[in-house]
Amino acid sequence: MERMIKVNYRDLETKEFMTGTTLREISKSFQRNYNFPILIAKVDNELAELSEPITKKCDIDFYDRSSSIGNSIYGRSLQFLVVVAARRLFGSDTDVVVEHSIDKGFYCEIHGASIDKPSIRALEKEMKKLVEEDLNFTKISVSRIEAINFFRKKKQIDKAKVLKYISNTYINLYRLDDYYDYYYGDLAYSTSQIDEFKLTYIKDNGFVVSYPDIYTPFETIEYVHHTKLFDSYLDYTKWGRALGINNAADLNERVSTGNYGNLIRIAEAHYDHQLSNLADIIYQKRKQIKVILIAGPSSSGKTTTSKKLETYLASKGLVTHPISTDDYFLDRKYTPRDKDGNYDFETIKAVDVELFNRHLVKLIDGERVLLPEYNFMTGEREYKKKYVELKENDIIIIEGIHALNEDLTQAIERKNKFKVYISPLTQLNIDNHNRIHTSDTRKIRRIVRDNKYRGYGAGDTLNSWKKVREGEEKWIFPFQDEADYIINSALIYELGVLKTYVEPLLFSVKEDDPMYSEAIRLINFLRNFLPIPSDEVPKDSILREFIGGSCYNE
């Protein structure tokens, strides 16, 4: 007689299933609670693919593409779908290289075939055919050495090289159709679940795959080509190729020979070159530019970038005056609240925009202005004899979440403003089919910084990340095209350094913490990188803003 097992769903409903029943079968009993196909389960707070069976009493939850967990799996599975469809359509010698994330999707290039707009339409059609075929993503556990030999035989050297630096005895491969691939994270159950996407041809064998995100899960938003942002990614990719570092394995090879110091210096020089170039542009327009505005998503390195830019401008004889928008917060009693009733410091409505503009106009007109200082303890602005007066060619620097939004500086003519967008636009990938999300780099930076300077645990930072991202989607990303200049603050070596700081913090997340599965995902992600000591990271590096030891904090 088959033994029955009780399954507790979200503490809302309990059902019994026979031992050995797969999570796929169990999910059908709860699919009515979801708008989209269930992609993965969480069993006793650990992620489990739907192909796995249950063998004991457990607490269970499920995720579709409208959740951050499910959306990551959706995107990863979609990448595999693109790879297999391209091989079907263009031949087995064709490979899709997933370059980087961009605008609710990812940018790819096809190697081994020449493509154009009709080719991309045909590829999208082939992908939809795979969806209709309802093929399973089948997970297979094999020895790491066996996998390395397999990928070498298939001439997928990027896969073989990255597996060389993973210490696991066994690793998971996935099969779709007749193609085997390596992915560091979980995939969906079948192709029929990955049913919503759009492909957009760009140029030179490149195209963007767009798909629903957690903010617009019901549809795929049409791709909008942000030329400056795209070109910044492309420039960094070309620079990485020139160095011979395209993926994690290339970086690990440098580290394994102890030759990482020179790479650190090259990466820092590349970042400094961007600031030097920016300073030259501002200097040439110094009679016109009165205000420099710097914005970017969380953990982009805005503070260090602002400080270093001040230094570069000072070397050209320009005097800068930093002004913080935080000092212009409304008194706490007037601060708007979010949907949960908490104070909303993210919205521009939390800033006294009228006073801010009045002060900017007076400063530009040469008047002496008493600036406020916001007391976060009392929730009120204070005035402590902080006077500022601009001389000819002096420049104001404003760094903040709303800096690119014209509403923040509406009283200043656009010609008198220079806007800078900063973000770590990660060029490095794990291999040709596993991209590194820019948001993961920022998330890891923030975990390290929050622990060092704010005393937060990794679980606390991970738990707050959703709210951080919501603020970015609303107040930063919509204004990125306003930028006159884009700074890529990614450092090609940084994940090796950050690994040594963040891994212990991630391991401290307890098994019953809601963020435990995300901590495990990041741990598995970081296993693809060898650790890099931080001793050769310069004191003025943007990375020091997160790991400590920055000369700008002294």
Residue with token string 């992620």? 47
DSSP H/E element including 107: strand 105-111
Predicted pLDDT of residue 346:
87
Coil, strand or helix at 174: strand
φ, ψ of residue 251 to 5 degrees: the values are: -65, -45
Distance of alpha carbon 268 from alpha carbon 489, whole angstroms: 10
Domain with CATH 3.30.980.10 in the chain: 69-224
DSSP H/E element including 291: strand 291-295
Q: CATH number of 69-224: 3.30.980.10, 3.90.1150.10, 3.90.550.10, 3.40.1010.10?
A: 3.30.980.10
Query: pTM, whole model, 2 decimals?
Result: 0.92
- Look at residues 315, 304, 236, 234 and name the one whose alpha carbon lies nearest to residue 282: 315
Domain with CATH 3.40.50 in the chain: 231-319+391-553
Distance of alpha carbon 543 from alpha carbon 498, whole angstroms: 9
Q: CATH number of 4-64: 3.20.20.70, 1.10.1200.10, 3.40.50.300, 3.10.20.30?
A: 3.10.20.30
From the centroid of its chain, how far is CA 207?
A: 20
**Residue 30 CB coordination number (10 Å):** 19
Are the beta carbons of 367 and 343 closer than 8 angstroms?
no
DSSP H/E element including 239: helix 227-243
Are the beta carbons of 99 and 108 closer than 8 angstroms?
yes
| 484 DSSP assignment | S
Structure tokens that stand for 510 in this block: 């307890």
Structure tokens that stand for 148 in this block: 């390395």
Predicted pLDDT of residue 2:
67
Q: CATH number of 231-319+391-553: 2.30.30, 3.40.50, 3.40.1350, 3.30.70?
A: 3.40.50
Question: What is the mean pLDDT, run by run of 10 residues, along the chain of 554 residues?
Answer: 85 92 96 97 95 94 96 96 96 89 90 91 97 97 95 92 90 94 94 97 91 94 90 89 91 92 96 96 94 95 93 95 92 89 89 96 94 91 91 91 95 96 89 90 96 94 92 92 95 96 97 94 94 96 96 78
Domain with CATH 3.10.20.30 in the chain: 4-64
Phi-psi region at 537: left, alpha or beta (left = phi > 0; alpha = psi -120 to 50):
beta
Are the beta carbons of 298 and 446 closer than 8 angstroms?
yes
Predicted pLDDT of residue 92:
86
